[in-house]
Chain A
């Protein structure tokens, strides 16, 4: 409480103290902040050093924080009128920031660099496009694929997932891989685990594959209860009811991710998980997402760059983004192994395809062909909380799916109306 009040006062004081005019002369220093693991800082420092060699006049100060602190910091800096020049943006949250007028329109800068966006995966660009142009650009992206633990499949004598798998095949295999190895009446190995609180990892893919939609094009109506979407939810519910995955509230007992500690035999997740799995010494590979009655679908989501509207050095900031999105910059990021480069030429080169871990990296790239962009709309965070967290009692086995789904959809539509 007290802390909250303190922050309120400090932010208002800061707000009053700021507001100066830009002036571009001589060497400039720009700030760049992003969320990420500490090891990412080293790679970004390398990108920044490369950039400084080409543009000795521009110094970039990089700051990396964990996900939660990143947003707190960004909020405070922005409210205080001293936002970082360049900062990282999660595509779904983009409109919440853009609509508040916090971001610079990059369209004039893009127009001045003919052909700049030609080499990008087009699916990664749509999230940042508004009626009057781009207010952000993707830096790298993620497609969601099916990860499987080869050792567990071998031990249970189950065939590896293939590109022909349906969601029903997934459930059958998950049942065969759910084991009570020490016969104490409790499950020791789960067939499957994935997050169902965020749409990105499983439920948006399932809804699309069962022929449903997430949200109407004008962002006024939540569609997750219509047509095929109900069947997708019924499928997800069956994973919990069949006991092939632990309930959401008890999954926390095993850590954030049940594939990494070798508790679950399969998971659906993006490339960011790969370095951790490799480090944990898991013998794993990847397959495309299973298909449903309406075909196959996966989700594509990106992390991007934006420039603060009040940046004093917008030109320098854009130069930096341009460099990070060039082949040189993208190759550095590919080395990091957390994501897929947005430049097609780099994604399809050895820099990306020949990473440690001996994975079928091509699966991530091929998934782009049937990927849909993770929806971006105003009020995303609140909406995602209403839907994702609202369904937890169902998957915890405390409530009936359809009744809660109706409640959640009504509440989600209220959020959309309030954020119009």
Chain B
């Protein structure tokens, strides 16, 4: 099945011309660097001396290096908290904002704002919110008679970072789900309510099955983002000597490569992360074939 218009004559030339920058970027930027990383992962390279052959050594290290194992576990933990939270919260938000209420445009804009704001800038604001002594959150807790919490100390940092990342992601998730929701024909709801289905029943029997394509897409995107989460984590949990209270895999890759001059180790870690993302995507597509309902 083909869609759209086919390019004709000179248009074909223009088509390729316009696509060239993207294709070059893809070839060198993405595929080229993927191959380079794959190659580097088999060498030890300190950025100055010529790379030395290491074979599988850097991959063996993945299972022995305590710091990296901790970082990898943190990435899994982060993803396990982040992905369901983003999908559920943005779906609920989309359902709430998919009705005719006054100022719905304003609400939608407000929830989408984090997606178009610089993560560095918003992380600075979150630092103020989370501050133990001067933060707004603790000021609220204390006014209600609770003890202040050190949100960014080691014990709570994971939770605090997940909250900020979810907050930053629900705007985009909401848009995806809104698109999915508006595609559901209204007759289904009319029919359901004629049959006496309650709002809750309508949500579970009509809405949920029909937005499974959006849920699938959003889960996939959120998972990829979760494995690569870095900016908020860097801004909120970086300690003064460069470590983090929530070191994740990408954090470890960055430090090994550019601070400890271990390009080989960093590349092997990057490849492992890429494989993990690949495996996860494969599982998701299997799941899609079984459970996702397309009309």
Given contacts A12-B36, A100-B261, A250-B133, contact A393 B154 (CB under 8 A): yes
> Which residue of chain B lies nearest to A384 when distances are taken between CB atoms in the complex?
B241
CB of A250 within 8 A of CB of B245, answer: no
Q: Which of B33, B150, B153, B270 contacts A9 (CB 8 A)?
A: B33
Query: Which of A195, A198, A252 is packed against the most chain B CB atoms within 10 Å?
Result: A252
B280 close to chain A: CB less than 8 A? no
Which of A1-26 touch B at CB < 8 Å?
1-2, 4-6, 8-9, 11-12
CB of B153 within 8 A of CB of A8, answer: no
B109 close to chain A: CB less than 8 A? no
CB of B48 within 8 A of CB of A101, answer: yes
Q: Which residues of B contact A (CB under 8 A)?
A: 28-30, 32-34, 36-37, 40, 46-49, 66, 127-128, 131-135, 150, 152-155, 228, 230, 239-243, 245, 250, 253-254, 257-261, 263, 266-267, 270, 273
> Inter-chain contact count A-B, CB under 8 Å?
124
Chain A residues within an 8 Å CB radius of B239: 197, 248, 385, 388-389, 392
Leading 7 A-B pairs by shortest Cβ distance: A5-B33, A389-B243, A79-B47, A197-B240, A253-B131, A250-B132, A389-B239
- 5 pairs, A vs B, C-beta closer than 8 Å: A2-B29, A2-B33, A75-B261, A78-B48, A249-B150
> Which residue of chain A lies nearest to B134 when distances are taken between CB atoms in the complex?
A253
Q: Which of B127, B230, B261 contacts A252 (CB 8 A)?
A: B127
> Which residue of chain B lies nearest to A74 when distances are taken between CB atoms in the complex?
B47
Given contacts A1-B228, A382-B260, 10 further A-B contacts (CB under 8 A): A5-B37, A5-B270, A8-B263, A78-B48, A100-B49, A197-B239, A197-B241, A252-B131, A254-B134, A397-B153
CB of B37 within 8 A of CB of A8, answer: yes
Cα(A78)–Cα(B270), bound, Å: 23
Chain A residues within an 8 Å CB radius of B153: 247, 249, 393, 396-398
A114 close to chain B: CB less than 8 A? no
> Which residue of chain A lies nearest to B250 when distances are taken between CB atoms in the complex?
A1
Q: Which of B34, B133, B241 contacts A5 (CB 8 A)?
A: B34
Cα(A385)–Cα(B48), bound, Å: 23
Cα(A399)–Cα(B154), bound, Å: 10
Q: Which of A382, A388, A392 contacts B245 (CB 8 A)?
A: A392
Interface class of chain A by DSSP = helix
A369 close to chain B: CB less than 8 A? no
**Chain A, interface size: which category?**
35 or more
A53 close to chain B: CB less than 8 A? no
Chain A residues within an 8 Å CB radius of B47: 11, 75, 78-79
A246 close to chain B: CB less than 8 A? yes
Cα(A79)–Cα(B66), bound, Å: 28
Cα(A390)–Cα(B67), bound, Å: 12
> Which residue of chain B lies nearest to A379 when distances are taken between CB atoms in the complex?
B260
A72 close to chain B: CB less than 8 A? yes
Which of A145-198 touch B at CB < 8 Å?
186-187, 195, 197-198
CB of A398 within 8 A of CB of B48, answer: no
Cα(A386)–Cα(B201), bound, Å: 54
Given contacts A5-B270, A8-B40, A253-B135, contact A385 B49 (CB under 8 A): no
Cα(A8)–Cα(B155), bound, Å: 35
CB of A247 within 8 A of CB of B241, answer: no
Cα(A75)–Cα(B261), bound, Å: 9
Chain B residues within an 8 Å CB radius of A11: 47
Given contacts A100-B261, A253-B128, A381-B242, contact A5 B36 (CB under 8 A): yes
CB of B49 within 8 A of CB of A8, answer: no
Cα(A187)–Cα(B242), bound, Å: 29
Given contacts A389-B240, A398-B155, contact A247 B29 (CB under 8 A): no
Chain A residues within an 8 Å CB radius of B132: 247, 249-250, 253
